């Protein structure tokens, strides 16, 4: 997924590492630091849940692909690769291939008018989005 | 020379009189333009102004001109700052820019806060949807905006909009997104009825893109960089997208109940709200949002991870919109 957790954390450093020009040193920089703080808060969630969410999603997509054997052997084949070393980078690389296969499967399911499988895929989307969620804390408005 | 020095030299030439720039300060908000507040002192008279300058190597020329023409079109018709000057070449400030009047004494809510309008939510909500209705009611004939914005046919509004944003996802996607792809296919399979009128679409009309006085009054509608002509339901659906709801399930935009918002908009615009059309534009707007966040993620990477606003957009909001898209796809199938 992009940006990745390392992207965000490296970015948080890059965002504040360089001294701003004088006209950007006040309100703009204060706003920037506040956003960096918020990103750090969300990054903590991703560090806690990100691996589990990816492992779960990859497994769920594999199951959907394997169950769709009637749509062609290619889908089960796409599901055959394992998750690798469980780093986020490895999981995301596998996830990209699995998601591409899922998109192809969904297109085929829609073309076939296979309502039951279509609805199963929509439920999978709901669960994928939920697993990847980032929860914003209740920040008070001004 | 500093930016203030360059601006002073430019304004002295533009106004034809020695001009002093005071208090130049970049302000937060938006990633599409660098925004600065300053005072220009011309012959002893102080003018509060805003400078909007293109970021390094970014948006196309048409976007900037359209935004400026939108200010020209609606200043005096709606709470919109007065445009002062547009410099498409922008050599004196290194990049293209425009200058407009500054509206002081207002605040813009962060979309990611709770109850930002407090006890004034109802009053602000009524004004917010009245202004949007007024924009939708405006006859486009003779508006400066029509110098640069093409008007699609009523039955083509949806296709022009969807083709554009689906194309953005095609161009900028770095990781496959099955949910938004399913939504795009769904939108193409089941298009909306033709627009009841082709009108000005602000393009980013939402909480956070206006200034309010903290007492229930809207002072200025901002951020017109995605303005175009199209189906005005596009703006209405964007304004009530759950992403902009301030985590309040009972009210749209964190302001007023949904039915009330739609009634105000319909009354002030003089246009109907077809439920099927609004459902289409609602799903479309979640796609449009995901396209914007997809571009933000790419710009964040291409820019060396230096803009945290792009990071929030490409990461947090992208995941929120995946949830919204998945929920809407379920709902359209009658699933829960």
Which residue in the set A2, A106, A107 is minimally distant from B314, CB to CB? A2
Which residue in the set B24, B300, B323 is minimally distant from A3, CB to CB? B300
The shortest C-alpha distance from B112 to chain A (Å) reads: 7
Average pLDDT over residues A100-126: 98
Which residue in the set A10, A96, A136 is minimally distant from B175, CB to CB? A96
Give span(s): CATH 3.90.1200.10, chain B: 118-332
**Distance (Å, whole) CA A61 – CA B157:** 35
Q: Which two tokens stand for residue A124?
A: 């999978």
Name chain B contacts of A121, Cβ cutoff 8 Å.
182
Looking at residue B30, its pLDDT comes to: 58
Of all residues in chain B, what percent carry a pLDDT higher than 90?
90
Which residue in the set B28, B115, B311 is minimally distant from A8, CB to CB? B311
Condensed to tens digits (0 to 9), the pLDDT of residues B189-247 reads 999 999 999 999 999 999 999 999 999 999 999 999 999 999 999 999 999 999 999 99
Surface-to-core class of residue B22, CB atoms within 10 Å of its CB (0-12 exposed, 13-18 middle, 19+ buried): exposed
Which residue in the set A96, A126, A138 is minimally distant from B327, CB to CB? A126
Condensed to tens digits (0 to 9), the pLDDT of residues B18-43 reads 999 999 999 987 567 899 999 999 99
Average pLDDT over residues A118-141: 95
Q: Which two tokens stand for residue B23?
A: 């208090």
> Taking 90 as the threshold, does the pLDDT of residue B1 lie above it?
no
Name chain A contacts of B3, Cβ cutoff 8 Å.
21, 23
The shortest C-alpha distance from A46 to chain B (Å) reads: 11
Q: Which two tokens stand for residue B282?
A: 């609602």
Surface-to-core class of residue A45, CB atoms within 10 Å of its CB (0-12 exposed, 13-18 middle, 19+ buried): middle
Q: How many CB pairs (< 8 A) connect A and B?
A: 163
Q: How high is the mean pLDDT of chain B?
A: 95
> Taking 90 as the threshold, does the pLDDT of residue A135 lie above it?
yes
Which residues, at least 6 apart from B16, have a Cβ–Cβ distance to it below 8 Å?
Answer: none
Buried (b) or exposed (e) across B188-209, using 16+ Cβ within 10 A?
eeeebeebbbbbbbbbbbbbbb
* A23 contacts B335? CB cut-off 8 A: no
* B329 contacts A8? CB cut-off 8 A: no
Condensed to tens digits (0 to 9), the pLDDT of residues B37-67 reads 999 999 999 999 999 998 875 544 567 899 9
Average pLDDT over residues A18-37: 91
Looking at residue B32, its pLDDT comes to: 75
Mutation target to probe the A interface, by most A beta carbons within 10 A, among B1, B27, B33, B179 is B179
Average pLDDT over residues A107-136: 98
Nearest to A57 by CA among B326, B64, B136, B154: B326
B248: three-class secondary structure by DSSP = coil
CATH number of the domain at B118-332, please?
3.90.1200.10
Name chain B contacts of A133, Cβ cutoff 8 Å.
319-320, 323
- Closest chain B residue to A13 measured between Cα atoms? B306
Which B residues in the span 11-50 are in contact with A, Cβ-Cβ below 8 Å?
24-29, 36
Q: Does B153 touch chain A (CB under 8 A)?
A: no
Name chain A contacts of B187, Cβ cutoff 8 Å.
none
Condensed to tens digits (0 to 9), the pLDDT of residues B59-96 reads 445 678 999 999 999 999 999 999 999 998 878 899 99
Q: Does A35 touch chain B (CB under 8 A)?
A: yes
Q: Does B181 touch chain A (CB under 8 A)?
A: yes
Looking at residue B28, its pLDDT comes to: 86
Give span(s): CATH 3.30.200.20, chain B: 3-101
Which A residues in the span 38-57 are in contact with B, Cβ-Cβ below 8 Å?
38-39, 42
A17: three-class secondary structure by DSSP = helix
* A141 contacts B110? CB cut-off 8 A: yes
Q: What is the ipTM of this complex?
A: 0.97
Q: How far is CA A141 from CA B2, B117, B247, B254, B320, in A?
A: 35, 7, 12, 11, 19
Looking at residue B61, its pLDDT comes to: 54
Average pLDDT over residues A88-110: 97
Average pLDDT over residues A125-140: 95
- In B97-143 the beta strands, taken as DSSP E runs, fall at 97-101, 113-114
The second-level CATH assignment, the architecture, of B3-101 is 2-Layer Sandwich (3.30)
β partners of residue B218: B212
Average pLDDT over residues A101-120: 98
Looking at residue A18, its pLDDT comes to: 86
Q: Does A7 touch chain B (CB under 8 A)?
A: yes
**Distance (Å, whole) CA B201 – CA B228:** 5
CB contact at 8 A, B287 and B163: no
Looking at residue B59, its pLDDT comes to: 40
Which residue in the set B118, B181, B322 is minimally distant from A103, CB to CB? B181
Q: Which two tokens stand for residue B179?
A: 């949910």
**Torsions phi, psi of B45, nearest 5?**
-105, 130
The shortest C-alpha distance from B37 to chain A (Å) reads: 10
Q: Does B175 touch chain A (CB under 8 A)?
A: yes
Radius of gyration of chain B (CA): 20
- Closest chain A residue to B112 measured between Cα atoms? A139
Average pLDDT over residues A74-88: 94
């Amino acid at each position: 997924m992009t940006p990745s957790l390392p992207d965000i954390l490296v970015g948080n450093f890059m965002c504040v590492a360089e001294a701003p020009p004088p006209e950007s040193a006040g309100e703009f920089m204060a706003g920037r630091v506040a956003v960096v703080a918020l990103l750090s808060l969300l990054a903590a969630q991703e560090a806690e849940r990100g691996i589990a969410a990816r492992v779960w999603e990859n497994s769920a997509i594999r199951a959907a692909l394997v169950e769709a054997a009637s749509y062609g052997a290619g889908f089960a084949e796409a599901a055959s690769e394992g998750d690798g070393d469980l780093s986020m980078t490895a999981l995301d690389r596998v996830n990209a291939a699995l998601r591409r296969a899922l998109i192809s499967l969904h297109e085929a399911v829609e073309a076939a008018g296979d309502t039951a499988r279509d609805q199963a895929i929509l439920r999978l989307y709901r669960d994928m989005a939920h697993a990847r969620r980032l929860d914003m804390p209740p920040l008070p408005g001004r | 020379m500093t930016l203030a020095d360059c601006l002073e030299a430019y304004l002295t030439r533009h106004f034809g009189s020695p001009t002093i720039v005071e208090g130049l300060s970049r302000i937060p908000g938006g990633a599409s333009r660098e925004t600065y507040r300053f005072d220009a002192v011309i012959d002893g008279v102080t003018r509060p102004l805003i400078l909007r300058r293109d970021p390094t190597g970014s948006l196309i020329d048409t976007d900037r001109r359209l935004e400026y023409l939108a200010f020209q079109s609606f200043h005096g018709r709606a709470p919109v700052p007065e445009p002062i000057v547009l410099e498409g070449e922008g050599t004196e400030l290194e990049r293209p820019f425009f200058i407009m009047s500054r509206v002081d004494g207002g605040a813009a809510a962060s979309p990611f806060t709770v109850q930002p309008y407090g006890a004034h939510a109802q009053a602000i909500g009524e004004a917010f949807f009245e202004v949007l209705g007024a924009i939708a009611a405006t006859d486009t004939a003779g508006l400066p905006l029509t110098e640069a914005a093409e008007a699609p046919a009523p039955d083509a509004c949806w296709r022009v909009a969807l083709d554009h944003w689906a194309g953005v996802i095609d161009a900028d996607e770095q990781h496959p997104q099955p949910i938004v792809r399913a939504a795009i296919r769904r939108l193409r399979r089941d298009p909306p009825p033709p627009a009841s009128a082709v009108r000005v679409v602000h393009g980013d009309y939402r909480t956070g893109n206006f200034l309010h006085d903290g007492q229930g009054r809207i002072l200025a509608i901002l951020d017109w960089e995605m303005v175009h002509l199209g189906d005005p339901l596009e703006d209405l659906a964007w304004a009530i997208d759950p992403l902009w709801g301030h985590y309040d399930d009972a009210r749209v935009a964190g302001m007023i109940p949904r039915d009330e918002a739609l009634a105000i908009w319909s009354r002030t615009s003089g246009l109907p709200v077809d439920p099927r059309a609004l459902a289409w534009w609602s799903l479309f707007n979640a796609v449009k949002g995901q396209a914007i966040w997809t571009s933000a993620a790419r710009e964040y990477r291409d820019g060396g991870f230096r803009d945290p606003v792009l990071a929030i957009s490409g990461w947090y909001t992208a995941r929120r919109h995946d949830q919204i898209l998945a929920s809407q796809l379920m709902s359209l199938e009658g699933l829960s």
